[in-house]
Structure 1
Amino acid sequence: MSDTPIALQLAEYAHKFRHQCLPEEITALVRQRFIDSLACILGAYGAGPVNAAVCYAAANPAKSSSVFGTTIQTTPEIAAFANGVMVRFLDYNDGYMGLEPGHPSDNIPACLALAQAEGATGAELISAVVLAYEIQMRLQDAASLNKRGWDHVNYINVAMAAAASSLMKLDVAQTEQAINIALSAHLAMRQVRSGSLSDWKGCSAANAARNAIFAAQLSRHGMTGPSPVFEGDMGFFKLVSGPFDLDTDRFGTPENGDYAIRRSLTKTFPTNGELHTAVWAALDIRARIDDLDDIACIVIETSEFNRRVLADTPEKWLPKTRETADHSLPYNVARSLLDGDITLGSYSSAKIADPAVIALMGKITVVEDGALTALFPRHLANRVSVTLVSGEIVVSEVISGPGSVETPMTDSDFERKFRRMASPHLDESAQAKVLRYVAELQHQSEFTALFAAMVASG
């Protein structure tokens, strides 16, 4: 283990990263994740938590950063929060599963807000996004937080502090202090994803990104933070994560090409990523069963993580909120069997209270399968077995599905997802403007046109 504090190692890596020339294939991945995030934003227009965040932004005007779907401008940290809530609301943005789960695209709206405030270029924005992905995903690989009662967004504190420092062109010492402040002062508890889930489930990451920008702003003006924030006697290792190694020499560079963003996963359903393969399995079984009334019982075999996180409390077996339902393994399997799809409408109040889905969940058992746990987190596999009243057993096991590293979504897939989310809000002309803008993201010199095109028509 290096004697150099981890915060300083990350600061040095971030400072060098700013001068990297990224390969086109990495830039192309950012463009895809950007379109994916804009699709999620559009799908969140008008949602309760989004409206609350927009109202907060409107009450704090500043000519710095724009809020999607509006003509409001506010401070970069508030814009990062409001736009971040939009990206995260549907649970439809990309994700990554290491020892800890997380959603690296949660950094994108914060990077964009700060890039606009700082007068950064599209190329500088892309660099900051790749840096944020790199640090967050490497931390997710390094240590689990959820098993110890802490939320994964604590890694966004670090990743976004580094990305913010890059966009603000801070030096190494300032970047280290931004990381120290962001991590030590803003720890989030795992309770946000336990029991009956609240609006804050979709806001926690946006809040971490907001706090990281605030920390970088303070550091720019000379504020220092606790050090060493990871290794200290009362630091992150001892109180939160346990000790871990983090070798920045192995992080992505143009020489090794091993950028973490390559391993991020994108979603074909607006729900928790770890249960997507269970949805695919349920859809496969549905096509092989003549009548759902013939189902006697259902067994979902899954990983230790899925059983512990997605089928752990009574609320997951009788959800009352959208946020709980989209993180419920039994609900999503039952809903898939009933409807043949998972869509935004799958989590309406009527669908959640549907007697048919409640009855079908009553036939479900969730158990851990050691072989599936062994595949985790490389593969987020699930097996669904349906026993019919005749005694026949119909089984479907899905190891990896669309949006995975093995079967990545294509540019056309992302465009379809964007247009599907955009169609209720943007006319075809506006949709085309957004798509053209993102296609040339690395050459953009301002961001006003993007926000203007994303304001809902009518």
Structure 2
Amino acid sequence: LRPDYDQVIQDIVDYVRDYRIESEEAWQTAHYCLLDTLGCGFLALRFPECTKHLGPIVEGTVVPHGARVPGTPYRLDPVKAAWDIGCMVRWLDYNDTWLAAEWGHPSDNLGGILAVADYLSQKRVANGEPPLTMKAVLEAMIKAHEVQGVLALENSFNRVGLDHVLLVKVASTAVVSHLMGGNREQMLSAVSHAWVDGQALRTYRHAPNAGSRKSWAAGDATSRAVRLADIALRGEMGIPGALTAPQWGFYDVLFSKTNKDQAIKPEEQRQFSFQRGYGSYVMEN
């Protein structure tokens, strides 16, 4: 018998689907965050080490209603566009930072959000329908910030050797699958795949192996989120016990590792802890 979806997965999906943002401070901060994040991306375009990664996989590819990569002539499928936008945004490491048990840069999620919003809007206009509004983009930002940031408050992924971009993948998957019109079951499937997916190691953030993957890892994560959302919306079945399955789940496989320097106490193993529920706390702060 297949179990119900892990409660952590259900809570993320139900928040993204149902929560109404009433905080004026959150809306205003999201507006500033969007401007700041775009500014970081535009500045990164001055650096050839960044721009060499941008553009279609196959040169000259033309994508109908392709998502636009700001500051470039590229119009790409939303998966690669998310990669490019995420790479630009994060390249110089200037975009917003959230410091908690796990640190991270929640505006990394804009790679997937902007790519999908632009692609969907162009498709709608071509069909004679209204495009998405910027309010939808800001709402997705607030909720992606919240999912990533609340998970990070009391859960240290770097302590078990995982890179924080896994939270970008989870948060982006949730909001992007919602933007794409996923129903609850499809969103649950998508988020479960984000948890069960291979997760990046922190190797590239620390000497002696630190390197430029630091600058595109989040773009890769938000791009993967778009791909997983697309798979789920095509009807792919989810993995309900992605976190809690004994021996095979995320908690047992990836969240309970120990090493000689930082042994994890038994009470800290195999589950996340939460300081608060999801709202608009992260964007406000």
TM-score (norm 2): 0.83
1:326-368 Cα distance to aligned partner (Å, 9 max, x none): xxxxxxxxxxxxxxxxxxxxxxxxxxxxxxxxxxxxxxxxxxx
The answer on 1:8 being equivalent to 2:10 is yes
SS at match of 2:53: helix
Partner of 1:31: 31
The answer on 1:250 being equivalent to 2:272 is no
In the TM superposition, what is the alpha-carbon distance from 1:23 to its structure 2 partner?
2.8
Change (3 A) 1:16 1:69: same
Letter in 1 for 2:278: F
Distance (whole Å) between structure 1 residues aligned to residue 5 and residue 12 of structure 2: 13
Partner of 1:190: 202
Distance (whole Å) between structure 2 residues aligned to residue 31 and residue 147 of structure 1: 33
In the TM superposition, what is the alpha-carbon distance from 1:7 to its structure 2 partner?
1.1
Partner of 2:155: 143
Letter in 2 for 1:32: Y
Matches within 5 A, 1:22-101: 22-56=22-56, 59=59, 60-62=61-63, 63-101=65-103
1:387-425 Cα distance to aligned partner (Å, 9 max, x none): xxxxxxxxxxxxxxxxxxxxxxxxxxxxxxxxxxxxxxx
Change (3 A) 1:53 1:22: farther
1:127-161 Cα distance to aligned partner (Å, 9 max, x none): 11111001000111131111111101111121011
Distance (whole Å) between structure 2 residues aligned to residue 194 and residue 224 of structure 1: 37
Structure 2 counterpart of 1:155, from 149, 156, 167: 167
Partner of 1:262: 284
What value does the CA root-mean-square deviation take over the aligned residues? 2.1
The answer on 1:199 being equivalent to 2:212 is yes
1:27-60 Cα distance to aligned partner (Å, 9 max, x none): 1101111111111112101323422222445734
1:145-183 Cα distance to aligned partner (Å, 9 max, x none): 111111011111210111101211211111111011122
Partner of 2:124: none
Distance (whole Å) between structure 2 residues aligned to residue 46 and residue 55 of structure 1: 15
Distance (whole Å) between structure 1 residues aligned to residue 273 and residue 236 of structure 2: 26
Structure 2 counterpart of 1:212, from 199, 208, 225: 225
In the TM superposition, what is the alpha-carbon distance from 1:14 to its structure 2 partner?
1.4
Distance (whole Å) between structure 2 residues aligned to residue 186 and residue 214 of structure 1: 14
The answer on 1:107 being equivalent to 2:109 is yes
Change (3 A) 1:92 1:107: same
Would the aligned equivalents of 1:58 and 1:73 in 2 still touch at CA under 8 Å? no
Distance (whole Å) between structure 1 residues aligned to residue 198 and residue 178 of structure 2: 20
Letter in 2 for 1:163: V
Change (3 A) 1:226 1:42: same
In the TM superposition, what is the alpha-carbon distance from 1:249 to its structure 2 partner?
7.4
Structure with bigger strand share is 1
Matches within 5 A, 1:415-434: none
In the TM superposition, what is the alpha-carbon distance from 1:197 to its structure 2 partner?
2.2
1:290-341 Cα distance to aligned partner (Å, 9 max, x none): xxxxxxxxxxxxxxxxxxxxxxxxxxxxxxxxxxxxxxxxxxxxxxxxxxxx
TM-score (norm 1): 0.53
Letter in 1 for 2:282: A
Change (3 A) 1:136 1:73: same
Letter in 2 for 1:61: V
Letter in 2 for 1:198: G
In the TM superposition, what is the alpha-carbon distance from 1:222 to its structure 2 partner?
0.4
Distance (whole Å) between structure 1 residues aligned to residue 101 and residue 42 of structure 2: 31
Runs of 4+ in 1 over 6 A off after TM superposition: none
Would the aligned equivalents of 1:44 and 1:86 in 2 still touch at CA under 8 Å? yes
Change (3 A) 1:245 1:199: closer
Letter in 1 for 2:277: R
Distance (whole Å) between structure 2 residues aligned to residue 157 and residue 250 of structure 1: 20
Give the structure, 1 or 2, with the largest relative contact order (CA under 8 Å, sep 6 or more): 2
Change (3 A) 1:248 1:5: farther
Question: Percent of aligned positions with the same letter in both sequences?
Answer: 26
Matches within 5 A, 1:401-412: none
Distance (whole Å) between structure 1 residues aligned to residue 76 and residue 58 of structure 2: 7
In the TM superposition, what is the alpha-carbon distance from 1:226 to its structure 2 partner?
2.5
In the TM superposition, what is the alpha-carbon distance from 1:21 to its structure 2 partner?
4.4
Would the aligned equivalents of 2:157 and 2:164 in 1 still touch at CA under 8 Å? yes
Partner of 1:345: none
Would the aligned equivalents of 1:5 and 1:230 in 2 still touch at CA under 8 Å? no
Partner of 1:179: 191
Partner of 2:235: 222
In the TM superposition, what is the alpha-carbon distance from 1:240 to its structure 2 partner?
1.8
Distance (whole Å) between structure 2 residues aligned to residue 249 and residue 166 of structure 1: 23
In the TM superposition, what is the alpha-carbon distance from 1:245 to its structure 2 partner?
4.0
